[in-house]
Structure 1
């Protein structure tokens, strides 16, 4: 027998999931990942530790900290791709909230195969370009 929860309970579950996210965001705002005091839980990049090269996510923890503290230019220096991802996730959040809570029909332009392929190619290109040690590409490194 399959039991399906009504949609209103699913909304409450999503709202409940925001509680740990709130505390995580608050921690990222108040603790700087660049200053390692030994008491923080910020992980280091395994790919960078093993190879010496930057992965597409390198610098994103520092970018989160800078964004939460209103330092947008510093966040762009740490990880440009993460800032673009934040904008796309904000748009996706708007689509979800509009549809789930306000019952509005919105067209999600990110829900197609070309968007996924474009994002994949963008990540691979960013990964390669940020590891080139000559200007202007060296500025992509965190």
Structure 2
């Protein structure tokens, strides 16, 4: 008779909502940190490695400054920093809420996953945003 590994035993003892609630707490703590430690001032946070190596903006460039603007209730400032992040926030919030709900009330039947076409479209939109925001005619998409 073999004993279950420690990780498996710990996972059996934890409530299913532990992971989503911990992730939510980390997200709130991160938003509070970005609110009080301004990412607009140089030296507070490390430079984006992609930007440092290539000189071009990645899809996430400007996200910290967008979160800072949102925590200061400046929606237009957040949109200027990273419009993709702001556009995806409702979908991320819905997915997170659904995850929390299902962790407290597990579904009785099978959960329908997103159709792969939507996931490929999301990947395509992120890649297109990445390329277009670095083109000269789309400087409005660059953070700042």
TM-score (normalised: structure 1):
0.79
Distance 2:112 2:78 in 1: 26
Q: 2:41 aligns with which of 35, 43, 68?
A: 35
Cα separation, partners in 2 of 1:84 and 1:7, compared to 1, 3 Å: farther
Match of 1:11 in 2: 17
Q: Which runs of 5+ in 1 are unaligned?
A: none
- Contact persistence 1:95–1:108 (CA under 8 A): no
Contact 1:98 1:104 in 2 (8 A): no
State the 4+ residue runs in structure 1 displaced beyond 3 angstroms.
1-8, 12-22, 102-105, 107-110
Q: Please list every run of 5 or more consecutive structure 2 residues that lacks an aligned counterpart in the other structure.
A: none
Does residue 24 of structure 1 match 2:9?
no
C-alpha contact (below 8 Å) 2:17/2:100 kept by paired residues: no
1:16 and 1:126, CA in 2 relative to 1: closer, same or farther beyond 3 A?
Answer: closer
Q: Name the CA shift for 1:109/1:84 in 2 (closer, same or farther; >3 Å).
A: farther
1:96 maps to 2:102: no
Q: CA RMSD in A?
A: 2.7
Q: Which of 44, 55, 61 is 2:47 aligned to?
A: 44
Give how far 1:6 is off: 4.5
